[in-house]
Every structure is written in C-alpha cells, then in structure tokens.
Structure 1
Amino acid sequence: MAFAGLVFADSGANLAVLQQFEEPDDLDEQLAQPDRISLTQKAVKFRAGNKLIEVHLSATTMTRLATYLHIRQSLVDALGSDIAPMFIRCSYPKAYHEPTSISPLRRDFLQTLRKRVKAIGVNLGDVTFQELRVFKQQDLVRRAPLPVAAKLMGHSVKTAVKAYSKASDDIHRRELSSFLESLQETVLKPNQRAIKGVSLQVIPVGSCAEHGKPSSVKASAILEPNCNKVEGCFFCDNYRIHADELDLRKLMSCRWVLQKIVPLNSDSLQAYRVYTAICDRIDALLGELKRRNPSMHETVRVDVEENGQLTDYWSRKIQQLYLLSMLPAA
C-alpha cells in the first residue's frame, strides 16, 4: 500500500484509475529502458480498462518499481493466489502476523494507509485525494504546457486551466517576480568581467562574485552554498554565469555528467532532492541563456549532448568515475 501511495503522489492519477492499473506485457522492457521525460521524471505505461495509460514517475519511484513487483510476486507465491490489479493490499488476521490474503485497493485506501503508517510513528496529515490531485495539477501546469498537464492528469485542457486559475494570483506574481529577478542578477552580459569593481573568479560552472564568502540565495535552500563543492555554487548569491558559449558549455557539461551519476544515488531520498533542486536550477539558467541566444544554445547542446564535447573539467570528472568503476564501461 505504501508504494501505491508513492505512485499516486507521483502520477496524480485518481483512485479509480489506480485501482485498475495492471502489469503490461512489456513492463520488463520498459523498466530496462524507461522513457526519460526530464532529468528527474520517467514514463511508464500501465494497462487499465483495455488500454495503455502513460504515467510519469520520479526517477526514484521508477527504480523501486521492480522491487515492488518482486515483493508482490513473493506474496503471490506464498499465498498461492493472484489478482489482476497491480497494486494490492494485504489482509492480516492480527497485528504483526503474516498476511493471509491479498485484495485490490479499496475506496478507503488513503484512510487505511494513514492508519498503517501512523502505527510506525509517521503522520500523513489530514489530506484528501482531491486535494492531492489539485496540488499535483498546479505543480504540473507550472512545469509543462497545459495540454501535457491535462493529458497526465487524465482530463481536459479546460479542466487544467480551471485548476491553474484557482491558484492565488498574488503567489504567482511573487514567485514569477522573484524568479525573474534571480535570473537577471545571475546571468551576466558576455563582456562583464567584474561586479562593483571586483573581478569575477572563474569556476567550473561559471563565475563567482566573491569566492570564499558563500551566501545562501534563500533560507529554505535545500543545499547550503559551499565554495569547495561545485553543486553548492547554484544556491549561492555570489554565483554568476555569462551569456556566452563558454559558460553555456560549462552548464550543459555539468548537466550531462549529472545524468550519468544520478542512478548511483537513486535509493537515497536526500540525494534525489538535492539532485532535483540542482537540475531545476540548471534548467532555469539554460532557459534564460536560450532565450537570449537560441542559435548558440542549440549549437552547444548538439556539441555536448550528441557529440560529447564537454569542458575539460567535466571531461576529467567523467573519466574519474569510469576509472573508479562507478560507471559501467561505455
């Protein structure tokens, strides 16, 4: 039941659809080579109502899907019976005893899940399926075009527009204003090499306005700025990047290496959160660089992503990972 809750939170599917999900014939192939939607999202297709439904899951949840299926099959083997739905609940004669049967998820799934996790000291909070879906919808429309968000949520574009409009206008204005101000301050003109008379110091992902004096972008940043760690630069007030070919290549090289190493920490929730935050920051900066110079962005993208032409720093990093056998041989 806990894993079904993760799938619901990731996908935003309503309970009726979640109850219908069945294992497709090609699920093993999908898990071996999942469709990548973004740096942090992957797609899988489940069967429901005689058709395939595309579901977007976080990279972490996707890696755990195979483990869940293995546990499910072990239960089936032990109990000697199986049912069509992929997501199931176990029945226990008494607390802390072995399960005696499996059955489909029921309408009281959320209440039952809340009760079971509370028994181990975890409080899920008093939230409904509808509230979770509304939150998921608003998160999706911020990250993807409305038609894509509507398709993922399984309803019309009109419904997606209504859900988006329900969000507070003041919150959106504050978020947008803060976001744009941050980009404008961080991304510099190609020929700007100093700020207030102080020369910028070159770093592997751009430049630094005051190296050795890290300053957090905001108090709630998931990663503390740290001059000794490249990833800490993205959450520092002193971080700067030029709208030129060199810094664009630095950012794309960094993202290319991150795509390689994320599976190494796929089972760590904290590592996944940090990875997601870094990727979101990089994508925002790349979006601003693309807006300023689309042709340069495309040229460097092809050079890095398709031809593997990384900066020297990131080339050495990826070589080190191979030498340490932390990545499979190409």
Structure 2
Amino acid sequence: MFEERNIEFVHIENFYKFSENGYDVEKLVLITKQGNTDSYVDIGSLCYAKRSKSCKTKHYAKVVKSTFNEKIASAIKEFLDYKCTKLTVGSARVILGRLKVTLDELYSIGSEQNIEISFDDINQCHIIYEFYTKFLIAKIKNEFKNPNFKSTKNIAAKQKICAELISSTCNVDLEDFIGKYIDIKGYDSPNKDKEVSETEDYRVYINNCQKIYKIFSQFSLNNSNFPINFNINDDISEVPSFLYITSASALVKKYFYNKEGRFLTRIEAVKNVKKIDDVDELKIRYKDKNDELPFEIKKSYNKHLKMLLNANRHNSRERLKVINIAMSSMALWIITDSGCNLSVIYGLQTQDLKNLNPDVPNQKIFYVKERSGGRTIPVGLTNKIVQPLKDFLAFREYVLNLVDEKERKKIGNYVFFTFKLNANKNIKDLIGLYSAKDLILYKNWYNSIFGKGSYISPRVGRGSYANIYKNLEGVKNHNQAIDISAEILGHTSTVDFKYYTDATKEQVRSQFTEFFDNVYDQMIFKNRTTRKAIPVITDIESSPTIAGHCNHTSPIRADGFNENIEQPNCSNPSTCLFCENYVLHTDEIDLRKLLSLRKITEMHSDLNEEMLIVKFRIDEILKQIVNKYDHVKSLIHTIKDEVDDGYFDENWQNILELLIDLGVQFYVED
C-alpha cells in the first residue's frame, strides 16, 4: 500500500536559501541537529494523510500517494516560509516535531467530524480552529486527572501552530485571529517534585564517574587485558569487584574466575570445579580423564576463553567500548563537577582546556550558548578535575592515533567523540562526534553495573548541583542562594528557580514554612486590625450561599478586617469569608463548600496575594471550629481527602470547569 517518493534532503541552516528557488514540499526532509548528530524531520510526508513510520536508515517515510492533500501541502509551505527565521539548528526540532503532531491531530479531527482540513478559506479555518481548540481543552481536562501531570506547554504550543498555519496561509493577523478564541496558556505544574538526587547519592555518583574514567582510560593506555578490576565501594579492605566487558554467566564467573577477578588457567579451572562441585554428580556426556573438565563445562570454558582472547586483540570491539565508556565518564564528570549543560560537552574544543592550570584556583572554561543569543557562558571547575582534564587531552590524542588522518579530520578540535559500535564496519568508519545516543548507551551500561536507577542524568545532575550550592552554609538569603546557583549554572535566576531549585520534599516544606513566616506580617496582617483569629458565626438559621450560609443580605466587613481587604460582595462568593454576616454550618455540605474553595486556591498556578489571603482565612475558620467542636475534626479530614480526589462541591466544580474553559491556569497536586 505504501509507496516510495522522491526526496530532497536540506540542512536547516540552508533552508532559507534553498526555498528561494521554489521546491516541492512533499519531497522535503529537513536535517537539524541533536547534540552533534544529524536529526531528520520528514516534512514532505505530512502532506499525506496516510504514511508509514520513517525508516531509520533512509530517514523518510513511505506514503499512500492517493492521500496527498494539496491544500495542506500549500499550508505547510507557507508555514515554513513564515517560520524560516526561527528555524535555527537549536529550535527547529521542537517546532517541526510539534507541527507533525498538530497535523496528525487535525487529520484525525477532520476524519471524525467530517470537516475538510483546508487553510485557504478563512471561514473554514474558523471552523477548524474552533474544533481543534475544543479538542485541546478536553485533552487538558483529561490531563488534570493524572497525578503526574506536569505541563500544558505542548498543548498551548500546538494551538498556536494551528493558528500560525491559518494566519500564514490566509494572510490574516495572528494576534487578531487568536484573540477571537480561548487562548490556552502554557504553564508548568508548580507542585511537581524537582528531579534531583540526595547529596550522598550525588557524591557517590561523582566518585564513580571519576573512578571509571581513571581506570578505563589507564586500561586503554596500558593496553591491559580483560577483565577490568576495581573496587566499586570506597572500602579498600573489600575484595575487588571485576567488570566483564565480554559476557560472562554466573556459571562462568563461579568456575573460571578467582575472587580477585583473574581468569583461571585450564588446570586451575579443573581444581576450582572440583572444589565447588562433586564432578561425578555433574550432568555430563562423558569425561576423558579425571584431570579434564566435564564435557559441557569444558565446552563453556573454551567458548569463554575464545571470547576473552578476541576481546584482548588490538582495537577489538570490546577495547573500543572501553574507550567510549572512558569518554562518557569524563563528560559526566565535567557535568557533575561544574553543573554545566550538555551543550558544553557537545561543543567543547581542545583549546578550551589547554590553558587550564591546576595550581590556580577557580579555573573556568567558556562556551557560547546559542539558546542565549550567542552569549558566552563561563563554566567554573573545581581544582580536583583540572589536572585530569589536561591528562584527558593525552588520552584523546592516543585514541585518535588509532585512526587515519581522514578520520581525525572528522573530529577536528572537538574534545569528545566515540566509536559507533552499532554496525559491523571497519574501525576507520566508526568514529564520530559525541552524541545523545552515546549518553544513552553509557546510561544502560552504568545501570547494568551499579544497579537499575543508579545513573543520574545530566539534567538531574545539574539540578542536584544547583541545589547543593543553593543550600550552602553561610548563604542565609533564599534569593541570594538562587542567584549564586544561577550564576554557576549559566542561566537566569528565573530559570534556576523554575527548574533547578527547591529540590527535595523536605527542603520544599522547610522553605515554604520559612516563606510564610516571612511574608504573613506583610501580606495577611496588613488587611487586619488584630493579630487574633477573627471569629465566624456557626450553625444558626440562615440562607445558603456558594461559600456557606448568610444571615443578612447587606454585606459588611467583619470586625477585625480593615479597608485593605476587598469590600464583601455577594457576586464574589470568596469575599463572603470576610463578611460580618457569613455563617458556616458545621455539616458535610458547608465544609465541602469551604474545602472546595480552598482546593481551588491551592490548585491555581499563580498563587497570588489575594488567593493566599483567602486560603489563610479558610484555615483560620477551620481551626476555630475544630477547637470548638470535637466531632468536626474527623469529618474535615474525610471531606478533605475526598476533595483532594476530585469530589468537589457541585457549585465550585462548575466554577472550576468554567475557569478552565476560559484558559485560567490550574494544576493537579500530587
């Protein structure tokens, strides 16, 4: 069913010039970058409603040619022309990836709703955009049910891409078009745990990276033989652990290696087997003589010996794998030592390291950060890594001497590269710049040695590094600590606060307590004439309201609040809490109303001053009634758990859904 089509490969940095001469968009495959490796985006296949997955080796998809949509092809072309100035190497993969997902969803909506997906008629575009916005809002509502919900940014970005397809094709003002509809806001869930490691785990990981690099690089430089031996733990009295680069089953390890990790000679293996098992009881086909291994064990010994001899050959696959591991461990050592970004590893040049001096404190390397508009970012290094980095240049030179001059030119002055061992090619064809795939291979290997989940990704490591500095002893001011870690990591304090700080749950709780202690005097009590709890009327006959009950129709501020608090207004149910006539019935109905309102303030992504004041007032009321009525405490806990699970008061549930439809930002708490 799927057919081949003609393809034109174009590097993203050449797209502007390429497009000037006109082109058939259905043939286009754009080449971007992922780290130092090429990443292919088959744009042309999006012109077809039915297509296969992209082939990993050919980098494009086959299509059903009868499903070609000329109008979508034209819209894609207009969109690319509109976006060409933003299609940089750094941003293209994200933009084009979202374009693909958006068009896939539009194809699906068109099929389900019997709507023609055409961007050349503005009236039809309004229909498309309205249906797509409803589809995305429904998706957000569904996301809120997931306790692991993190962000609506991708959903908001897809809505904008749909609008850009329309505005670029129909030549209408983008902002004017968007303004006619609900604008989905992109935001992150503030309540999600920041991904960081505990300090001790992070220390162990750094130590392992150092150890692996030193041992594996020396193994290569000395042309040592397998297996590789080293202590995984710091305890020098422990028997050394040894790593099998060649595969070794539990039986092989048991019979053919001693405790120090040395492969036994054939005679030693016979003695070792006899110590471990009663040879006469072993399941065997025959024995030649008493001094020989049983047949099955001898067969296994011979096979493993052959593998070991092959691994110890010059430039064997296993030796090249050791070099790759040494490269990755040094790259991760730099990241864990400095808190730098992966882009530093991808772009680091040999001249950046040559002037490092281990005798000078506070050494720095510098790199240009494309995402920051070409800004030069300093990367601070500890003295502990400076000399190993200089030694690493010698190791790098040793490795490059394994290949010919043509292959050396492929690497140029880049510090990091690896051997690509996923294909059976000559060594000359296997060398390439360091990439994200190399990092994944190292992660898999590391977890296989130290246990699943022990690997710390560069992002988590970066956050852990920032968190350690943020909690430095002697830095008392929270904002000052954020600025320090931001400077170290090479980004703004806004980014630092959003992605890298407030790391562990215990620290979050501590910091929030400190935050409320510091700001309540300025925020909460500036609206009051007293520091004492302002009483609330309970359990008298009154009229029901959204917030509880009311015993009078004329709202007035309760005694204890000053003019800084909003004048109570019956059209704004949250102001009832500050009214002299507010009444709370200590039953399930009113408590669910109160706790539903509290949950909504908690869920709002922008917990502003007004919401904190409402939340404080609710907590104050709840505390009063718990102290007054013993039976209410357990009822409050039960209702709170139900509200946390989504069982809101009906009126507040309707208000929440309306606010979401209007684009107000909420998140779901873990």
What band does the TM-score fall into relative to the shorter chain? 0.3 to 0.5
Q: Return the TM-score normalized by structure 1.
A: 0.43
1 or 2, which has the higher strand percentage?
1
TM-score, structure 2 length as denominator? 0.23
